[in-house]
Amino acid sequence: MNINTICLLLLVIAAYTNLYLTFSKDKQKKKTKLPISSKEWREKVEDQHFKSWLSNRKRLKEKQNRY
């Protein structure tokens, strides 16, 4: 093997290593961050349920007062 073959082999190895590192970096960047945390989401849902419960309670009281 002469020096040109060895250099070519090292160049190919460096190119494939660079390609691998580029793709692995892209995979790490694709991890999406949620726009809202699970705690905030739970609080939002509980708040909606509470508001719904209040409106239903108010409606039932009005219904009972009519009869």
For residue 30, the model assigns a pLDDT of 64
% pLDDT > 70, the chain = 90
Joined tokens for residue 60: 């039932």
Residue 66's pLDDT band, with cuts at 50, 70 and 90, is confident
Q: What pLDDT shows up at residue 3?
A: 93
**Average of per-residue pLDDT values in the chain:** 86
Give the residue-averaged pLDDT of 24-30.
67
| Dihedrals phi, psi of 18, to nearest 5 degrees | -65, -40
